[in-house]
Amino acid sequence: GENVEQHPSTLSVQEGDSAVIKCTYSDSASNYFPWYKQELGKGPQLIIDIRSNVGEKKDQRIAVTLNKTAKHFSLHITETQPEDSAVYFCAASKRTGGFKTIFGAGTRLFVKA
Amino acid sequence: DTAVSQTPKYLVTQMGNDKSIKCEQNLGHDTMYWYKQDSKKFLKIMFSYNNKELIINETVPNRFSPKSPDKAHLNLHINSLELGDSAVYFCASSRETLPGNEQFFGPGTRLTVL
C-alpha cells in the first residue's frame, strides 16, 4: 500500500550546523512532495515543496532533493537556528479522484543554542 | 485574518458522547480536509471534500460523519466517542484537488475522551 517512511524520528544539532531529514515513498505515481513544519501547538505549515519533474529546489537555508528512481527525497537545512526547532513532516501526493497526501511520521528537530 | 479556523480548540468529553468540531476557511478554496494526529504525531487523512462533495473517505469508522454546508465550511461530527478517538484533529484547505496545491492547516482541536 501507500507508505512514506521518514528518518530520523528525532534529530538534535548545534546551532549553525546542518540538518538532513530523509524520506522514501512507495507509490511511483506520487508526483508532488511537500515538506511541512509544525511548531508546538500549531498546525503544520508548508515550508518547501518539489514536483516530480525537478531534482532539486532551494529556498534560502532550505533545500529539497528528489531521486525519483530510488523514490527518495530529502530536506536539508543549513545554518540551523533555534527557531528551526519543530516537527518536520515529509509527504507524497498523487492525483486520485481528489489528491491524496500521505505524510511521513515526522522528525522532531532540536537546535541547541 | 485567520485563514483556517477551528472550534473548539480543546474538547474534553466522556466516552459514549457525541461531539462536533467546526472548521471554516476564508481563503476561497474549493477543497477541505480533516486529518487526525495521534499522540506520536502521526498525521493521517480522514476525509476530503471538493465543493461540498466528498472525494476522499479513508478507512474511518462510520461514527465519524463530515458535513459541508458550503465550500467554506467542513464540520466533523463524532458519535459514540471512544477512548481511541483522543487525538488532535486538523482541518485543512487547498485551492483545488490537484497535487501541487499547498494545504493550509487550521490550529487543531485537541480531543480528549475520558
pLDDT in tens, B20-33: 999 999 999 999 99
B114, with CB counted inside 10 A (0-12, 13-18, 19+), is exposed
Contacts of B103 in chain A (CB under 8 A): 34, 46, 101
Model confidence over B63-88: pLDDT tens digits? 999 999 999 999 999 999 999 999 99
pLDDT score, position B99: 67
Interatomic CA distance for residues A45 and A35, integer angstroms: 8
**8 Å CB contact of B44 and A103:** yes
The x, y and z cell numbers of residue B71, run together, are 465550500
Interatomic CA distance for residues B45 and B57, integer angstroms: 8
| pLDDT over threshold 90, residue A94 | no
pLDDT score, position A96: 66
| CB-closest option in A44, A45, A99 to B99 | A99
- Secondary structure class of A82 (helix, strand, coil): helix
Distance (Å) of CA A14 to CA A17, A78, A81, A113? 6, 11, 8, 6
Model confidence over A2-54: pLDDT tens digits? 789 999 999 999 999 999 999 999 998 898 999 999 999 899 999 999 998 88
